[in-house]
Homo-oligomer: A and B are copies of this chain.
Amino acid sequence: MSDAFSDLKTRLGRIEDLKSAAEVLAWDQETYMPPGGAEARARQLSTLQTLAHEQFTDDAIGALVERAAEQLDGRDRLDTEASIVRVARRDYERARRVPSSLVARMSEAVSRAKEAWKEARKADDFEMFAPHLDRIVTLNVEKAEAIGYEAERYDALLDEYEPGMTTETVASTFDALREDLVPIVDAIAEAEPIDDGVLRRQYPQAAQKQFGETIMAEIGYDFERGRQDISAHPFTTSFAIDDVRLTTRYDENYLPAALFSMLHEAGHGMYEQGIDDALARTPAADGASLGIHESQSRFVENMLGRSRAFWQHYFPRAQGAFPDALAGTDVTTFYRAINRVEPSLIRVEADEVTYNLHVMLRFELERGLIRGDIAVDDLPGLWNEKMDEYLGVVPDTDANGVLQDVHWSLGAIGYFPTYALGNLMSAQIWTAMQDDLPDVRTHIAHGQFDVLLDWLRTNIHRHGRKLEAPDLLERVTGQSLSAAPWLDYVRTKFGPLYDRSL
C-alpha cells in the first residue's frame, strides 16, 4: 500500500463517516423523528454535509489523489486500490468544478422550491411552482456549464446519476423503446382487463410485515446487517456495508403496496450489502450508477417477485399468512392480478409495462428545459399532450400531472431516466442470468435463491463502483444498453396474460 494511498484512504474514511452520519440523521428524520425536531435537524444535516464537502474538496485530497494514482499506475482495472483512487478522482474533479456559491444558491433555491411544490400540488396550481422550477432550471444550466460536457448540457447533469452514459444514447434507446412499446400498451388496453379484486381485500398489517420480511430474508436480504421501518415513501439507505436499512408503508386494503415495495427495496439493499468489504469507508462502496441500482431493485420486484415460478413457491404460504383474503383463490388468479396492466396517471403506481413511458415523458421535457427548447410555462400542456400520445390518458389536474413528482423541486434534473435505464438493464441482466443458469426458474419455483444471489454478488454487487455502469453492463451481459431484451421479456410474459400476440 503506497503512502499517498494510505493517507488518502484515512481522509476518505473520515469523510465517509460524516456522510454516513448524515444518512443516519436523514433516515431518522423519515422514520422516527418527532415533528419538533425538524428545524434543528435541518441545521445538523447542513453542518455535516458542508463539512464533508469542505474536507473532500480540500486541495490536499487532490494532491493525494494525483500521487496515489501515479504510484498505482498500471494496476488492473478491477484492482481495489486503483479503483478507489479512480472513483475519488472522478468525484473530486466534479465537486471542484461546482463553485461553492452555486452550491449555496442551489441549496437555497431547493429549500424554497420544496415548500412551493408541496403547496402548489395541494392547491393544484402550477403557477405557484413555476417561478421556482424556472430558478432550478437556470441553476442546473449554470451547473452543467461549470462541469462541462461534450455534446449537450444535459450530459453533465445525467453524468451525476449515471456515470458514463450520454444523453444521445438515452434518447435513441428510448426512441426505439417507445416505437415498440406504445403499440403493446394499446393492444393490452384493448384486451379483456384482468380483475385484481383479490389484492384489494383485507390484509392485516402485522401479517404483511411477517410474510414480507420472511420472503426478504429468504431471497437474501440480511436482517442481521439491516432492518425495515415505516416511512411515507419507501427508500433504501446505507450507513455501512453491514448496516443497510430499508423502509416501506402499508395499505391494509391493497396487498401490493407493501409487498412489492419490500421486494423492490430488498433488491437495492442486497446490492449495498453485497459490496466487497475491501471498499468499505471509501466512495467506491456504492452502486455503480442509479440505473444499475434500479436494475437490482426491479429485478427482484418484477423478474423475480412478479413471476409465476416465484408464486408457485410462495402462494401456499401467502394463503397461510392471509387465510381470510386468499383461502378460495388459486395461484393463477393471484399471478394474473399482480400483473394487471392499465395505463394510469401516476408514475409511482404504474404497472411494469407502462412505467417506462412515464419516465420517457419526463426525460424529454427536462432535456428540453435544459436545452432551452421548452419553457417552464409550456410544461403542463406538453405533459398532457405526451400522456395522451404515449398512454392514452390525460390528467384531470396538474396535481395528477406535471406536479406529481418531488424530483424537480429537489433540484434533481438528469435523475428520471435512470428509472427506465434500470428497467432495461434488469432485463439484460435477467437474460444473461438465464444463459448462465439454465435451471434458474426451477430454482425459483423451489425457493432456492442462493444460486441467484451468488450470481448477482459475483457479477455485480461486490464490484461496487469499481466499474462504471456501461463497462459493468458489457461485462455481465456482453452487450451495451439495449431495449430489446426488455421488450422480449414483456412480449413473452404479457402476451399469454392478455391472450394476445404482442
B contact residues around A149 at 8 Å (CB): none
| Residue among B33, B43, B225 making CB contact with A281, cutoff 8 Å | B43
Considering the chains assembled together, what is the distance between the CA atoms of A226 and B241 in angstroms?
A: 30
Q: Is A370 an interface residue (CB 8 A)?
A: no
Considering the chains assembled together, what is the distance between the CA atoms of A242 and B51 in angstroms?
A: 24
Given that A25-B24, A28-B28, A281-B43 are known contacts, is A239 also in contact with B37, CB under 8 Å in the complex? yes
Would B281 and A34 count as touching, CB distance under 8 A? Answer: no
Residues 380-405 (chain A) with a chain B CB within 8 angstroms: none
A482 to chain B, nearest CB (A): 37
B contact residues around A241 at 8 Å (CB): 40
Would A242 and B36 count as touching, CB distance under 8 A? Answer: yes
| Residue among B13, B39, B226 making CB contact with A43, cutoff 8 Å | B13
Q: Is A4 an interface residue (CB 8 A)?
A: no
Given that A47-B14, A48-B21 are known contacts, is A37 also in contact with B225, CB under 8 Å in the complex? yes
A16-28 CB mask vs B (1 if < 8 Å, else 0) is: 0110111011001
Residues 113-148 (chain A) with a chain B CB within 8 angstroms: none
Considering the chains assembled together, what is the distance between the CA atoms of A21 and B21 in angstroms?
A: 7
A40 to chain B, nearest CB (A): 3
Would A44 and B25 count as touching, CB distance under 8 A? Answer: no
Would A34 and B229 count as touching, CB distance under 8 A? Answer: no
Residues 218-258 (chain A) with a chain B CB within 8 angstroms: 222-227, 229, 239-243
| Residue among B14, B43, B243 making CB contact with A33, cutoff 8 Å | B243
| Residue among B14, B36, B47, B224 making CB contact with A226, cutoff 8 Å | B36
Considering the chains assembled together, what is the distance between the CA atoms of A441 and B71 in angstroms?
A: 77
Question: What residue of chain B has the Cβ atom nearest to residue A43's Cβ?
Answer: B17
Considering the chains assembled together, what is the distance between the CA atoms of A464 and B28 in angstroms?
A: 26
Q: Is A280 an interface residue (CB 8 A)?
A: yes
Would B24 and A28 count as touching, CB distance under 8 A? Answer: yes
B contact residues around A48 at 8 Å (CB): 17-18, 21
Q: Is A35 an interface residue (CB 8 A)?
A: yes
Residues 58-75 (chain A) with a chain B CB within 8 angstroms: none
Q: Is A53 an interface residue (CB 8 A)?
A: no
A27 to chain B, nearest CB (A): 8
Q: Is A457 an interface residue (CB 8 A)?
A: no
Q: Is A41 an interface residue (CB 8 A)?
A: yes
Considering the chains assembled together, what is the distance between the CA atoms of A242 and B48 in angstroms?
A: 19
| Residue among B40, B47, B225 making CB contact with A243, cutoff 8 Å | B40
A20 to chain B, nearest CB (A): 5
Given that A44-B17, A47-B14 are known contacts, is A225 also in contact with B28, CB under 8 Å in the complex? no
Considering the chains assembled together, what is the distance between the CA atoms of A25 and B25 in angstroms?
A: 8
Given that A37-B225, A239-B37, A242-B39 are known contacts, is A44 also in contact with B21, CB under 8 Å in the complex? yes
B contact residues around A47 at 8 Å (CB): 13-14, 17-18, 21
**What are 24 residue pairs bridging A and B, where the CB atoms are less than 8 Å apart in the complex?**
A13-B47, A17-B43, A17-B44, A17-B47, A17-B48, A20-B40, A21-B21, A21-B24, A24-B24, A24-B28, A28-B28, A32-B32, A32-B227, A32-B229, A34-B226, A36-B240, A37-B240, A37-B242, A39-B240, A39-B242, A40-B240, A41-B243, A44-B239, A44-B240
